[in-house]
Structure 1
Amino acid sequence: MLTFATLRERWHSFAGGFVVLFLGMTMVSMSVLALTSAGARVPDRLAGTPVFVSVPAIERGDGNFAPDRPWSPETVASLRERLGAIPGVAHAIPDRMFYAQPVVDGRPVAGDRGYAWSAAALAPYTLTAGAAPREGEVALDRTLGLAPGARVRVLTVHGPVTYTVSGTVNGPGVYLSDTEAARVPAGVRAIGLVTEPGADDAAVAAAARTVAGASGVVRTGEGRDVLETREHERTRWIGLQVLTGMATLSVFVSILVVGSTFAVGVAQRRREFGLLRAVGATPRQVRRMVYGEALLVGVIATAAGVAAGASLAPVLGDVLVTAGFEPPGFAVRLSVPPLAGSFAMGVVVTLAGVWSASGRAARVRPLEALREAEVDDRPMPRARWIAGAVCCALGLVAAVDAWGSDGSEAFALSGLVAAMGVIAGVALLSPAIVPPVARLVSWPLARGRGATGTLVRENALTAVRRTAATATPVLVTVGCAILITGMVRTTAAAFAEVRATTIRADAVIVPDGTPGLTDTAASASGARSSLFGALFEPDGGVLSAIGATPELLESAGDVQVVSGSLDALRDADRVLVADWLAEDRGLRPGSPLPVSFEDGTSASPTVAGVVRGADADVLLSRELFRGHDATTLAKEAYVAGAPAPPGPGARAVDVRTYSAEADAEEDRLVWIATVLLVVVSTAYAGVAIVNTMVMSAAGRVRDLAVLRLSGATGRQVLGTVAAESALVVLLGAGLGLVVALPALMGMRGALATAMRADVPLVVPWPLILGVIAACLALAVCAAVLAARPAVRLPARR
């Protein structure tokens, strides 16, 4: 029967599993709490309005952030009049947004959204000084430090405009007079119903449903969260990927490390299990005992980890917002279901991790009690052979698929499956793979270092389970680190290389403190730029669109004209369509294309030709695009010759600099997430290594004492232990390199094929070497510190 006294005696066997489970469940519970808290939320600027009527939402796939079709100006006017007449409604206010960013002290400041003054009541935001804006005036956030009467430049889509500050408000945004804001071509997708004091919000919502009919959807309470911006929705989606990766990695590594921990523990307790079998214990009883011990440790560690995760989850929320993985205002909410689910997951991870070890313990024969040598020559279980072989086979099939990809397939996914499959397979087969590899690697060591080298070699070969238990987490960590970081860096380098070799310009104008370029900045020094946005079909479908000039498309060289001419874009009522769209819709030159624009107005431009490779469904003139869209900014502008200073909110750079910086923000988020995963996996590997070394030292007291009795000094014994630990870590790191690099090279080859460019293979070796060095330092220090008590034993012992 398991008692707490027995548990204390076996602490060395359980400490590693406890720490791994504690860390794993801390990460899982934090991630799950953050995931359950990461849903859409009602924007602060709309939080004070109880009832909204919004456009019907379109069905979008995962990772698709296309906007909903806005109402037409006629529909907005009609809805506003009829909704405003509902009893209990004080005001029906259209929520119209457009680009507007103040320039203070010569630099654009945070906050780039403009609104009509009436929209401030949706929060509600109120004046803290001054008066409401009139024509030629703006009301600004009081935190900008501008007093009423001050003059301020505001960047708009067309360029900088100077306004007089009429007043300040207690919220973000740039507020124009309703008359001036109404002239800005911006779509309306929601109308807020500000109710009178004491009004029945439920009755107002019911009446609004009747008024809106099929043209709108009434949103109340938490249902208003669909009104968040697409930018915030995209940020939440990125955070979801990061949190899911953290939770998945924690579970995956926890199972591997827990299994490895208990495998070492079982190997060291073979004599104990042999004695139990000798006195009549059945294999089922031994298995049940191992499960019971693991379950007790797992429940305690999981409970502690879940409690720690609940305490640290708010800190994680702040970190996610600071890093840009969650929108401002995000906060982690504590709730029982995710914590209970994390606890149940911890128990399942414990049982899954100890499954193989319990079977090995049940197979110990009674004669094992008579064994004195630490030689581990037992064969691996058949199930482990099968699982390892299947993983390797699946990984190799995926690797062949990745290598043979022509760039049109999901080569990145194939490469990931290949590497992860082979890594998992090699980890499962490590007791069989480690001995021959260790024999090959350590052969020069044995020949060159005499008795010490021979001891290191033979210890690594005879204690197979211990060697494999130490090498496996290093293999998994190094392999995954090389694969993930290399894929991220190689992909970024590939896009930069393609941009640098295809851009036909002498310089590029890029945003500087703004989300994009105004028309003034984008046309400085004769620069040319395009606008990327959306058009809306009558059925609500969304078409990607590019507003550009023929000269820009010709210089880019990516667009292939199937029929018609790029010169058609000089005419505001003609468009070019992608070949797939023409085939799907039956469009040909002369066909009308009924669409709506961002401002809600509709038109039926004539299809003047078909193109291929345009990165958009529809090409139209830049002037037509801008005339209906006051929110979209150019991402860059290309200059022939030496550029002049482009003005506030922009700067000119050379092509190479632009190529490296084009996706800087997205690359930053991806790299932070990547490093976070590497750090988490390295922490798990460190715990597993330290635990294995401590447990191994407890079972090697007699061996180390024999070395002392044989004449070895304490320094020589510790040197042998350190060298053995270093050999095993380097062995695991080498296997990780061998497993990950071929898959990474396959992905690089497929990426080069897809982009038709010479893509360099980029691996952040300083980070990888840092991971290996951390594992090496932990292994050597843990082994030496754990062996010191045994080395200090008296020589006559």
Structure 2
Amino acid sequence: MFSLAWSTIRARRGGFVAAFVALFCGAVVITASGVLLESGLRSGVAAERYAAAAVVVGGPQAHAVAEGPDTPFAERVTLPADVADRIAEVPGVEKAVPERSVRVTVPAAGGAVPVYAHGWTSAGLAPFTLTDGRQPQAPGEAVLDKGLAASAGLSTGDTTTLAIGSVPSDYRVVGLVSAPVLTRQSAVFVADEVAAALSERITAVGVLAAPGVDADDLAKRITATVTGVPLATYTGAEIGDVEFLDVGQARTFLTILSSSLVGTIAMVVLFVVSSTLGLSIQQRRRELAVLRAIAATPRQVHRMIGAEMLLVSVAGGLLGSLPGLAVAGLLRDAFAAAGVLPADFTLVYSPLPAVAALLLCVLGGLAAGYFTARRLAKANPVDALGEAAVEPAQLGTARRAFGVGFIAVGTVVGTVVPLLLPGIAGISGAAGSVLLLMIGTAMLGPHLMRVATATAAPVLNRGRISGYLAVANTRANARRLSGAVVPLALAVAMAAVQIFTVTTANAAASDQVEAGMTADFVLAGPSGLAPEVVEAVRAVPGVRDASPVVRSQVLVEYPMFDQVEVEQLAAQGIAPERVGSTMDLGVTAGSLDEVRGDSIALSTGASDSAGVGIGGTLHAFLGDGTKKDLKVVALYANGLGFGDVTASRELLAAHTATGFDDSVLVTTADGANPAEVGAGLGALAKEYPGLAVLDRSAFAAAQGDARGQQSSTNLIGNGFLLLYLVIAVVNTLVMATGARRREFAMLRLIGTNRRHVSRMMKLEAGIVVAAAVVIGTVVAVVPLIGISIATTGRVLPTVDPVVYGVLVLVTAVIGFSSIVLATRSALRGRPVDAVGAGA
């Protein structure tokens, strides 16, 4: 059977090349997304400041989730100061070194540089080596690493400024140090007592093991001995996770993104592969019918097609996995450029993604071959010959029923579910409805093509030859054309949903910031703003009020169906007595005056997701992992612009890394000159290093840039999938058109010329593109309405007409160029030769 299959492949290279391309590209995208997923689970970066430690003990930096990856906390989880002494008593520990990290800024050539200052004792964990001077011994003394000193133009004996919370203090550089590796950070060391005064809790404990003690065994011993304190132990490559929190957060990001991407990609790849292979087999109806007529059994036909699909699938899967590894690297670079992955984040490569891609391609190919050939394989040989000449006019009853069912379910999920289940559940349901609608559309594709043809017929029939032929062909070959239209419509729908989901959320957030930000100026600093800075701002002439704001994130737990969901929400800490003059959150229930202690205000979207209203309790973990039961005392509408959780600044600040405010919102007094107030605030920047002053429009633009980073992240991941769809669409259209060489030759032999045939195909391309745009748009409208309702409360999403016009233009270029170029190729040569070759 394999020899027969191989003979068929060699004789019909055109159709099988198209199938191979679909499988090859499918293997590329599956392998690439699989590499990202595996890297999210296993990758990391090498330790630098903790490189000499056998074990590093830190706080648990993520919330354990029963199903799925753990969710990281926004802030570093610290440890009580006495835990180092308890660790030092564990058998096998030679030395336990407490490490404190305090965020400071150092003036350098390019401006204030944010770095961390540490107690001198922790220098031995790298180890850092003094290359000049001595260690710090008293307040006002500091040791800098050589790279930082060079960038700041400092040497031993010089005086520099270290700003903590933007408040500067003079320090004398008493020494310079170097470490074996220091590429991701700079380091400043102060006396241990100074570090202890700046930070009561410790960042981590570096453990030096006694000779002959295994690091993993020692880590288990520490965990078992030091009880009553939540802690986590790290050894080997894991130490980089506790030293660099961005690495752990990047791994979680990759895991979550690639997990959802792998599932979607697998479904789309199977969808496209099935469509392409189905079209390839449909074009062989005559051959299969002849085989049935000369006594081939249905089983033999299935075995032959199965062998063909197995050969093509294995070849495509194996060859596609290799470039998939390179594509994963390109995606990593794109995410790093977008700022969501560290620039030095390395990928993990193993055979697992390639094996998974191969299995999915083989299973998809075999399934597509089986279901497509089933009708002809089971048909009576005489009926099979009849069907080979003319496509069946009607769809099967089961196919019609399933198609209508999928569309009905997709419509309900996309529009009704967001009304019944607002928040995350509604958004997820609306987004997931795209594939349901496309499956239903694919099943009803031939019928939809006949509708499209009937709609275009009155216009096209005015063309005496080409128009008439275009209508006749599209009406007679609706099944074949639907195989080309559906992938193109899927690309339109997915692109529209991805793009306009982002524009809808961004437009609503921008409107909320514009309407809700009543402050005239916003001040911010790279290491936070100490209370002294806030008081200095209030003292500026013309300032009516200055309201400090702390920004963080909280994790909330709430039941959804039969499991507990964990969601990360943006949070802000405010001074409720001052917030009224600087921001308007659009309070819909309760009062912000009651936001004190463990009482919070919640956005209406978060309230709907968590199912918690006024007087209810929100089970949450603050930025540093501290578990709190928070009482909801107010609800507000502007959650997209200002964050979903609003708490007192004292509550949030106590659980952030710095304990300082992130920004200060300033309003000018009545009658004050804003320009003079702005100049007065700008003068503070000379006194407080790193202090930045933004007006209202600049702040809104900065908020938009932050949202743009998240949007670009989503577009990179989904743009990768859309690129695959574009390749698949071009492949399908070229295959479908190229297979009509014999048909074109027959038309030319009975009196039409090349111009008539070319014009006919251009008109058919118009029908294909128009049908794809309309179907894709209708499919996209359903989930977009649901997403808009769940996200903003509005029925109509925000659609940029220019962007939509570009989307239609790209679709037209893809459709017309694929069909027209393939037609030119098929018209080459003499018609008699083409008819003979196809006989």
Residue 791 (structure 2) pairs with residue 789 (structure 1): no
**1:590 is matched with which residue?**
none
Query: Equivalent residue for 1:665?
Result: 706
Q: Secondary structure at the match of 1:640?
A: strand
**Greater mean deviation of Cα atoms: 642-651 or 282-291:** 642-651
Instruction: Find out whether 1:426 has 2:465 as its counterpart.
Output: no
2:354 maps to 1:339:
yes
1:443-486 Cα deviation digits (max 9, x unpaired): 31222x33211112221111112210111111100011111111
The secondary structure found in structure 2 opposite 1:99 is strand
**Structure 1 residues without counterparts, runs of 5 or longer:** 588-594
Note the 1:637-648 alignment, pairs <5 A: 637-641=664-668, 642=674, 643=678, 644-645=681-682, 647=685, 648=689
Task: Assess, with a 3 A threshold, how the Cα gap between structure 1 residues 454 and 519 changes in structure 2: closer, same or farther.
Answer: farther
CA separation of 1:245/1:707 partners in 2, compared to 1, >3 Å: closer, same or farther? same
Matched with 2:775 is 735
What value does the CA root-mean-square deviation take over the aligned residues?
Answer: 4.2
Q: In the alignment, which residue of structure 1 is the partner of 2:366?
A: 351
C-alpha separation in 2, matches of 1:202 and 1:402: 49
Q: What is the deviation of 1:298?
A: 0.4
Shift in CA distance, 24/502, structure 1 to aligned 2, threshold 3 Å = same
Question: What amino acid sits opposite 1:483 in the alignment?
Answer: V
- CA distance, structure 2, for counterparts of residue 210 and residue 677 of structure 1: 45
Letter in 1 for 2:583: A
Match of 1:548 in 2: 575
User: TM-score w.r.t. structure 2 length?
Assistant: 0.80
User: Which consecutive residues of structure 2, in runs of 5 or more, have no partner in the other structure?
Assistant: 557-565, 603-611, 637-642, 669-673
- In structure 1, the partner of 2:40 is 38
Question: Counterpart of 1:469 in 2: which secondary structure?
Answer: helix
- Look up the match of 1:14: 16
Q: Does 1:474 align with 2:501?
A: no
1:80 is aligned to: 84
> Does the residue aligned with 1:93 lie in a helix, a strand or coil?
strand
Give the secondary-structure state (helix, strand or coil) at the position aligned to 1:352.
Answer: helix
Is residue 179 of structure 1 aligned with residue 193 of structure 2? yes
Change over 3 Å in CA distance of 1:381–1:261 after alignment to 2: farther
Task: Please identify, of 768-777 and 729-738, the stretch whose mean Cα deviation from structure 2 is larger.
Answer: 768-777
Please give the residue correspondences for 1:625-636 in structure 2 after superposition, counting only pairs within 5 Å: 631-632=658-659, 634-636=661-663
Deviates more, 1:773-782 or 1:173-182: 773-782
The yes-or-no answer on 1:452 pairing with 2:487 is no
Pairs aligned (count) = 767
Residue of structure 2 equivalent to 1:720: 760
Is 1:779 the counterpart of 2:818? The answer is yes
Establish whether residue 705 from structure 1 lines up as the match of residue 705 from structure 2.
Answer: no
Aligned residue number for residue 611 of structure 1: 633
Pick the aligned partner of 1:188 from 202, 205, 213.
202
CA displacement 1:405-427 (0-9 Å, x = unmatched): 58557332232133332222112
Which residue type is aligned with residue 189 of structure 2? L
Counterpart AA for 2:98? P
Check if 1:156 corresponds to 2:156: no
Q: Is the 8 A contact 2:552 2:623 kept in 1?
A: no
Pairwise CA distance, 1:281: 0.9
Matches within 5 A, 1:216-365: 216=231, 218-221=233-236, 224=239, 227=242, 230-310=245-325, 312-365=327-380
- Residue aligning to 2:511: 497
Structure 1 residues 796 and 553 mapped into 2: Cα distance closer, same or farther (>3 Å)?
closer
CA pair 767-242 structure 1, distance change in 2 beyond 3 A: farther
Match of 1:529 among 548, 559, 562: 548
Matches within 5 A, 1:724-763: 724-753=764-793, 760-762=798-800
Q: Measure, in 2, the Cα distance between the counterparts of 1:599 and 1:271.
A: 67
Aligned to 2:605: none
Contact 2:492 2:811 in 1 (8 A): yes
1:698-756 CA-partner distances (Å, limit 9, x unpaired): 3x2332223323443323322322332232122212211122124313432443328xx
Structure 2 residue identity aligned to 1:167 = L
**Which deviates further from its counterpart, 226-235 or 244-253?**
226-235
The alignment's TM-score, normalised by the length of structure 1, stands at 0.84
Q: 1:189 Cα deviation (Å)?
A: 5.2
Query: Relative to structure 1, is the Cα distance of residues 273 and 210 closer, same or farther in structure 2, using a 3 angstrom cutoff?
Result: closer
Which 10-residue stretch deviates more, 236-245 or 278-287? 236-245
Q: Does 1:167 align with 2:208?
A: no
Q: What secondary structure, in the 3-state scheme, does the structure 1 residue paired with 2:96 have?
A: strand
Note closer, same or farther for the CA distance 1:116–1:778 as it changes in structure 2 (3 Å cut).
farther
- State the Cα distance separating 1:529 from its structure 2 match: 2.2
Distance 2:145 2:729 in 1: 53
More strand as a share of residues: 2
Per the alignment, do residues 6 and 353 of structure 1 end up closer, same or farther by CA in structure 2, a change over 3 Å counting? closer
Letter in 1 for 2:771: L
What letter corresponds to residue 258 of structure 1 in structure 2? Answer: V
**Which position in structure 2 is the counterpart of 1:765?**
804
Q: Is the 8 A contact 2:41 2:251 kept in 1?
A: yes
**Aligned 8 A contact 2:100 2:199 in 1:** no
In structure 2, relative to structure 1, the CA distance for the partners of 1:664 and 1:220 (3 Å cut) is same
Q: Identity over the aligned pairs, expressed in percent? A: 23
Shift of 1:516: 5.8
Structure 1 SS opposite 2:793 = helix
Task: For 2:555 and 2:478, locate their aligned partners in 1 and report how far apart those are by CA, in whole Å.
Answer: 65
Give yes or no for contact 2:589–2:614 (8 Å, CA) kept in 1.
Answer: no
1:123 aligned to 2:130? no
- Residues 106 and 222 of structure 1, relative CA distance in 2, 3 Å threshold: closer
Residue in structure 1 matched with residue 559 of structure 2 by the alignment = none
- Residues 272 and 517 of structure 1, relative CA distance in 2, 3 Å threshold: farther
> C-alpha separation between the residues in 1 aligned to 2:93 and 2:746?
91
Mapped contact 2:550–2:652 kept (Cα < 8 A): yes
Cα offset for 1:103? 3.2
Task: Judge conservation of contact 1:722–1:783 (CA < 8 Å) in 2.
Answer: no
Q: Distance in 1 between matches of 2:791 and 2:757?
A: 51
CA distance in 2, matches of 1:427, 1:796: 32
Cα contact 1:48–1:122 (8 A) shared by 2: yes
Q: Does the Cα contact within 8 Å between 1:17 and 1:258 map onto a contact in 2?
A: yes
Q: Specify the code of the residue in structure 1 equivalent to 2:41.
A: G
Partner of 1:591: none
For the Cα contact (< 8 Å) 2:438–2:490, is it kept in 1? yes
Counterpart AA for 1:455: L
Instruction: Determine helix, strand or coil for the equivalent of 1:100.
Output: strand
Q: What displacement does 1:287 show?
A: 1.9
Q: Do 1:89 and 1:195's aligned partners in 2 also have CA atoms closer than 8 Å?
A: yes
Query: 2:52 aligned to 48, 54, 70, which one?
Result: 48
CA distance in 1, matches of 2:294, 2:613: 79
Verify the 8 A CA contact 1:236 1:325 in the aligned structure 2: no
Question: For residues 295-354 of structure 1, what are the alpha-carbon distances to aligned partners after superposition, in whole Å with 9 as ceiling and x for unaligned?
Answer: 111011111112332455445444443433434542222223343233222212222333
Cα offset, 1:52, TM superposition: 2.9
